Structure 1
């Protein structure tokens, strides 16, 4: 079940944690350059992927506190063991990377296993797991959960190899995504959308297989300490967002292989909650209009705040015409859209923070990709007519260039748009070109067509259950999360687990929203606090408990203080639990 294994050494100007960039290099706004843009080396691709992964997760802005108040970017030399791993019954592999520091603690024998946040590539949790585990002498095992940035160019027949380079299909080449499409289908196949596996249903198994590969890698790296088994090696799972959901799914699996779990802002679907697809398609339709309600003012001001307002005015009219809101004018329609979202569980704090997702059109991006994944649709089969491609100057699909294609693996987030790949859609109609597609996506949740039942079956397959009895689990979530609201995810998960007799600890963090990386925007920095320091602290508390030096953290609603405009973050703002 393991193929395309590689071992790489990272010392002397390179390292495991930042690829030699350090905090200053990670803060640079432009990505590390390729010597030859059309043919980057595997080392260049890795460095750029690590840069992208850090910047997509952590607040690295000066004054944000990273590397000063919390967190580490200290150089950690060592080796990486990487491979493509395939679950029994899966069509496509997932990427696994095990980072073994030279200073691996032989007395502790620990592995931190993690899953990428969102749909990111295999380094997508480096700021979460590696930043905590590597400086402590732990090995860190990563999986991309069979999503990631292994795009496939259908026009050129080119896929991504194990080392991140782009290669033509050949008998000897196993791409990380082997996309199949009907004759004449062009554009870009995206692994999360087009794997044919509904990867989310197997997130827990991906984490388990990554942990198993870590034992194999440790035996190769430290044969003097072999054998490495789950009986003699501590395994702690940690992740945020989709990675948080993945480690909670891993917690369900039988066997005494996992010692503790810390899940931050987890995307988790349980009885009593709401699935991501449900509330994403609802938000995509209603939120642009609802955000015009003065009762939500003042909204955070992301770069696209003006666009949110313009789209909202048009959206209110579309919703009224479709009978989805009431009101004689945009002002009344906005109030009604706001009321409807509150009635379905959205808090005003979540709606305000969600303005950023509305501005970046993230709701539509998520819905398009997840509908394809849940329904296991191949490229060209999306029931709402969506696809992915590069666009020409007239906004028509065109073949990708070599320079664009080679940067997908390092730069893409796993969910277009991004890295030169955008969503294509037919049909569209002014004045609200996205509205018909969004209605179609919503109908896949609320309807009873064959396609709707197909997508709904995929969602049903991801439903979570309680963790294994006796397993320490800590859930950490921001009360202002506007992408994965606590009311739909963490709160019902904790209630379900406790009803099953499990001891799950729960930290609720005031003034924390979903995206630490967006705290670089001044208004977000003034209003909100990062979640990562609470995840690191929860890991510290879990480690102390496993060492017999402390108790598991008690439940807490953590009262914090926003730092305000122009102020640097301090420990006092965070009020981290002792």
Structure 2
């Protein structure tokens, strides 16, 4: 799932680090899959005022609400585009506020000089390439070779997991390889016929990262997650395995005297959060000893036979604005006083459509709330869903995923949604060169945001049928027409299977998660994995919601705790076990932390589970 960049704070698997080569060799055999061919290879060096982890920005600049500048706003160079992308990626995922604890209580922000290797990769049969990128710190030791593989959260660009996997792995001298898993911020301006090159700079020709099919016949803005025609979620696991393959090839280039780097002689971990966590679990089901262990945080994962998350998202898009009126003490933002009139109107519209019952707003809100509860959503998750409701994220997510599941191209959306640059008045228009130049660095991978708006093609009928677009999206989950069958086929392709036996896995999920509810994802996946004999630990975190970045808001940090500390702790514990099997793997835990409110976060408040042998 994802949070558009328009809301400024919106919102890996770690291939096991090597303890030593001989240990990794004894534990694994080399998978036999054919090595893919990677194109548009680039190698860049990042030292001094331009390191791997923060691009030289450091904590103060990462906290700044002002993006790093482009000397020429319409045509940034590669270094400027990268620096702003790293700034945006940190701010979208981590809580960097003073007293929040990042870099002090948990996590690492120390400069990491080193090299980057990047390329385009392609899943067999895919129409479009995707990005892969390896960061190798200068203190990487080929004699203790280790690699962490991660996938971007949400639909973010290639640096989308840097605050998770980059922070943890680079501090240990491990290489980290990223994949945008077929989504990312390579938007394409269909009117200007312009996209982005391998180095993140805008261009209208050359080897662009994404050019939609039939681009000449379309208008507006296209982006890879919705318009590639590839249903990337169905291949998330293969994307992560392919990232490992790229990482190993890049390490061969970086250290030719120590080649070959293989899964048998390189300790490899998979780690990621949200959609990146889903990619971790999908990779865990692929045959072959690609990974030594996996850590998945708040994974977006659907299990065959259970309602998919798309079902919940479309139901929430319809009902949650009304249902929230039946809940007291909602977190802010959004400001409930400002949202209440629109939510009250939604209740009335739902009543007229026969979708809720009740003669007054209170009864209608209770009806909507009960339907969401019957679907499996807890009151805590409903309360945490206030943010997504207030900023219309449910509709944005549903429109994108419907297009992806159905493998539609630009201009083909089954419910008449499209995307356009925003004019000065906020209405659809043409993008300026300056706005277009910022997309690769700042866009979240799902509009609206970064100067791109979601256009509802049903608006002409809105007076007579104000729910036409949302009902259409909802019907794709249950209808019988060709479009619904096409979308449901894509949803089925994305369902998770059980992981392979013997692979250590840790799943971490906030009990209050309102975007990827625990009851609809991890609570279903873990029993599936255990029934298949998986070696899995499950950490459920009370007072944990989906977006650490929202803890920048005072009302959120009074209620919730960050989840990244648990990712780092689980990785530490898995690493320790791989280094010394006498140290136990993580075990199941129901974690009861205490939010920090306005005081600086203390480690004791997190109640991080301990393991035996430590």
Same fold at TM > 0.5 = yes
Distance 2:463 2:340 in 1: 14
- Supply the distance in 2 between the matched residues of 1:62 and 1:483 (Cα, whole angstroms): 26
2: distance between equivalents of 1:393 and 1:15? 36
Q: State how many pairs are aligned.
A: 572
Q: Secondary structure at the match of 2:249?
A: helix
Against the structure 1 CA distance between its residues 193 and 432, is the aligned structure 2 distance closer, same or farther, given a 3 Å change threshold?
Answer: farther
Structure 2 match to 1:479: 511
Q: TM-score, length-normalised on structure 2?
A: 0.91
Structure with larger RCO (C-alpha < 8 A, sep 6+): 2
> Secondary structure, in 3 states, of the residue corresponding to 1:36?
coil
Cα 1:74–1:427, aligned 2, differ >3 Å: closer, same or farther? same
Q: CA deviation at 1:303?
A: 3.9
1:344 aligns with 2:375: yes
Is 1:110 paired with 2:142? no
Question: How big is each residue's C-alpha offset from its partner over 1:382-433, in whole Å with a ceiling of 9 and x where there is no partner?
Answer: 1111001113355542211100111100000000011100101122266799
Alignment of 1:55-454 (within 5 A): 55-169=91-205, 173-181=206-214, 184-271=217-304, 273-293=306-326, 296-393=327-424, 395-428=426-459, 435-454=467-486
**Deviation (angstroms), 1:559:** 1.1
- d(CA) in 1 for partners of 2:290 and 2:324? 46
C-alpha separation between the residues in 2 aligned to 1:484 and 1:242? 9
User: 2: CA distance between counterparts of 1:198 and 1:268?
Assistant: 15
Deviations 1:181-204 (A, max 9, x none): 375420001110000100110111
Q: Which residue of 1 aligns with 2:550?
A: 518
Return the offset for 1:219. Answer: 1.2
2:428–2:453: 8 Å Cα contact kept in structure 1?
no
CA pair 433-7 structure 1, distance change in 2 beyond 3 A: farther
Cα 1:432–1:227 change in 2 (3 A) is farther
Counterpart Cα distance in 1 of 2:241 and 2:577: 22
- Residues of 1 paired with 2:557 and 2:248: CA distance? 40
SS of equivalent to 1:247: helix
Check whether the contact 1:182–1:380 (CA below 8 A) recurs between aligned residues: no
Q: Secondary structure at the match of 2:431?
A: coil
> How far is 1:153 from its partner?
0.7
Report SS of the residue matched to 1:80: strand
The alpha-carbon distance between structure 1 residues 431 and 535, as it changes in their structure 2 partners (threshold 3 A), is: farther
2:424 and 2:169 mapped to 1: Cα distance? 46
Distance 1:154 1:555 in 2: 49
Consecutive unaligned residues in structure 2, runs of 5 or more: 1-36
Answer yes or no: is 1:538 the counterpart of 2:570.
Answer: yes
Worse-superposed segment, 144-153 or 386-395: 386-395
Q: Deviation at 1:149?
A: 0.4
Normalising by the residue count of structure 1, what TM-score does the alignment of the two structures yield? 0.97
What secondary structure sits across from 1:379 in the alignment?
coil
1:106 to partner: Cα distance: 2.9
Contact 2:190/2:215 (8 A) holds in 1: no
Alpha-carbon RMSD:
1.4
1:356-390 Cα distance to aligned partner (Å, 9 max, x none): 00011111110010000011111111111100111
5+ long unaligned stretches in structure 1:
none
Q: Give the drift of 1:501.
A: 1.5
**Per-residue deviation at 1:105?**
2.7
